[in-house]
Amino acid sequence: MIERWQASVMRAFVGILVGALTVAGCATDKGPAQAAIAAAETAVNSILADASKYVPDQARGLQAGLTAAKEKFTKGDYAAASTEAKAVADKASQVAAAASVRKAELTKSWESLNAGMPRVVESIKSRVDILSQSKKLPANMTADKLAAAKSGLGEITQQWTAATEAYKGGDLAEAIAKGTGVKAKAAEVMTTLGMTVPDALKG
């Protein structure tokens, strides 16, 4: 009878001990998890502006990772939260590097566009102006084609202004997108006018 009572007390004691150790273990993990999440949040916030602009998918991935780490923390899974947060912080530096590479690529594209497009526009404008003064249009040119070219020149000018404004506003991706549209339109107008299309406008 006494032996049975002793075994029962022992089992209860072991159970309490295991429970206490688990709680203590979790409490020990909480602080580091909190610190890891804070560090990940700082890392993400420091690169988020550029990452959202230049590598938006990767930026969204980082934010999702941070959210997942916070959810794990809220559920008390501190070890998993800590692991997730550390992975997010590591990933943040990779995303920052990718954003930097993409920014450099876009900047190079923009510089090329910005150096070349005004010359193309000037060339088209010059031809349109002269043809507008002509008493009779050349072979392969009709009044309709000239009217289309004039209208196209208006679009080009407007879109190019929008592209340069996007650039000035810091939106390189939008500037490139608009500039690429201008390239296509310029090639179309030059072809309509029977002009030789520069290589940069092809393809």
Partner 1 sequence: MENKSQQGGGADEWDATQWHVVQKGETLSKIAQQYYGDASLYPKIFEANRDVLKDPNMIRVGQKLRVP
Q: Cα separation of 110 and 169, whole Å?
A: 13
Residue 66, classified by CB atoms within 10 Å of its CB into exposed (0-12), middle (13-18) or buried (19+), is: buried
Stretch that binds partner 1, among 24-32, 55-63, 86-94, 108-116 (CB under 8 A): 108-116
Direct distance between the N- and C-terminal alpha carbons of the chain, in angstroms, rounded to an integer: 94
Binder to partner 1 among 123, 148, 155, 162 (CB under 8 A)?
Answer: 123
Report the nearest approach of partner 1 to the CB of residue 134 (Å): 4
Q: Are 33 and 79 in contact (CB under 8 A)?
A: yes
Q: Verify binding: residue 128, partner 1, rule CB under 8 A.
A: no
40 is an interface residue for partner 1 by CB under 8 A: no
Count, residues near partner 1 per rule CB under 8 A: 28
Residues in 141-160 that interact with partner 1 by CB under 8 A: 141
Minimum distance, C-beta of residue 79 to partner 1, in the bound complex (Å): 57
Considering only 37-45, 56-64, 136-144, 167-175, which stretch makes contact with partner 1 by CB under 8 A?
Answer: 136-144
Window contacting partner 1 (CB under 8 A); options: 17-25, 100-108, 111-119, 168-176: 111-119
Q: Residue 7: left (phi > 0), alpha (psi -120 to 50), or beta?
A: alpha
HSE at residue 107, side-chain half, CA atoms within 13 A, is 7
